[in-house]
Chain A
């Protein structure tokens, strides 16, 4: 079966750094995505990893270890607007047609002042 695990909730304060972990067990692997979803809104794309290592994009970074089935999203210099749900998603198929993503349940991050 397909399984993606991430913590349900996390809290942090403005200006801090937070790391959201994600572990996955899927039948195949062709990339891992992180999405941000504010309450009542659509998920928006944050990052994509297909090779091991760290991808940095401004205040957000994402790391992947394929051998461990593990990823994390690192958010630096937290701002109140970063309060949202963060979704980890895996593309399990490698062919052109099988491009759908399998999502975890999401991690709700609350940032306080």
Chain B
């Protein structure tokens, strides 16, 4: 089975610029997550989708970050404008939805490493 696909792999931008990341989850996985991982720390949830609906975006800095999953499959995370502290790896993950989802692990993509200068 194909894993979670993410692009780009690396991105370097200047502060105040905008950037977008793309994610395609494992086929059949209803739940999609975006996590931010700062160097030396564990992943922190930014937003969770169930199909095309938002389940949890309580930790998403909504003044600059936005995410969508319009057709319930792939997703885009955008930052506008970027700040220096946004430098991190942005990980996309997916898992089964429904009752099976409560016991299923998250499967991660390779992430996008963002450097803001």
Contact = CB atoms under 8 A, between A and B. Distances in A.
Interface of A: 4, 30-31, 33, 41-45, 48, 50, 87, 89, 91, 94-106
A106 B51 CA distance: 30
Contact of A99 (B31, B42, B108, B111): B31
B102 A99 contact: yes
B40 interface: yes
A94 B102 contact: yes
Chain A interface SS verdict (over half): loop
B102 A33 contact: no
Nearest to A99: B101
B45 A100 contact: yes
B44 interface: yes
B101 A105 contact: no
A96 B98 contact: yes
A94 B48 CA distance: 15
